[in-house]
Amino acid sequence: MFGIDIGGIPLEPALFVVALALGAGGLLWWDGRRTVAPTTAARRAVRHATTTMGVALAPGAAGVVLPILSFHLGIGPHVKTAQLVVVPTLGLWAFLAVYAVGELTWPRPQDAHRQARLTTRTVADVADRTARRRIWVTASLLVVATALLALVADGPDSIARVVDGVLERQTFFPGWAWTGPVLLVALLALALTEAVLHLIAARPAVVDVDETWDMWLRRRGARRVLRVVQLVSGLTLAGLLGVAGIALRMLGLGRTTMSTAALPVVPEYVTLGNVVLWVGVAAAVATTVAACWRWRDPLPGTASGRPTVEARS
């Protein structure tokens, strides 16, 4: 802790947000600069794709950062934790909506003589099959986790224990008031993801470039979408497990919200809480690695380029 404020905002989260914005912007700029655009139409397409991603990332990143800042800064009591847990996925909705607008406004041919290749493409042609499976696996794990957390909860946002006939309750727990909204918005985000992937596959082809380059550009866009969806979905799952693990651990240690007196420690709750907490940490690490994993799809025109049929990844 530096103990320095910037307009009432502590320095640490402010630096984190600035670093995140600069890092994302720098990566997008570098990716656009390194792309080999053989024609003017190709350069317009790359510029449009980079701009779309940059604009779409703004609400997506805000959805992830805002809950973290709210816990750090202490948002007012009118904002409930059960409402904050859906903010990352709502940010993902905004990301997908902006990206969909970018696909619907894809640059059209500007020459006097316009032509377009009529090629039937599907989502399977542009989206990596393994990446899509990871997203659906993450969604399945989220369904299982939310169901289990709702079942073990003692109320909408609490968990309780009985020791020597005395009921003690920990109210900071992801019960059904948390898991229900999270699961609903997450499943809708999956449907939006499939719709965006369909738009990527069905958009007009870039003129004056060969099919290999056009397909590479589509796959790059699909990869970006899948990375963001994987990251937000996995971190949402990890966050729920982490909060549940901390609540179980605190309950086992006797630090409940119903009593200020010293309560007996229940090792079973502490052990279970530690296990759930570490599973959440492992989920966060695994989803970050999966989202950042490099796909082998060399840029056409480079020494490592391969034919279109082999470039699917």
Ranges 69-73, 245-249, 283-287: which has the least confidence: 69-73
Rounded Cα distance, 95 and 60, in Å: 5
Residue whose entry in the numeric block shows the structure tokens 């409402």: 83
Rounded Cα distance, 120 and 114, in Å: 19
* Mean pLDDT value of segment 200-222: 86
Structure confidence at residue 66 as a pLDDT band (50, 70, 90): confident
Domain definitions of the chain by residue range: 123-311
Closest CA to 299 of 191, 222, 220: 220
* Mean pLDDT value of segment 81-104: 87
> Does position 303 have pLDDT exceeding 90, yes or no?
no
> Does position 114 have pLDDT exceeding 60, yes or no?
no
How far are the Cα atoms of 153, 206, 207 from residue 108, in angstroms, in the given order?
54, 8, 9
Greater confidence, 230 or 27?
230
- Give me the percent of the chain exceeding a pLDDT of 90: 26
Rounded Cα distance, 172 and 2, in Å: 28
Ranges 19-28, 99-108, 148-157, 166-175: which has the least confidence: 19-28
> Does position 100 have pLDDT exceeding 80, yes or no?
yes
Sign of CA dihedral 40, 202, 60, 228: negative
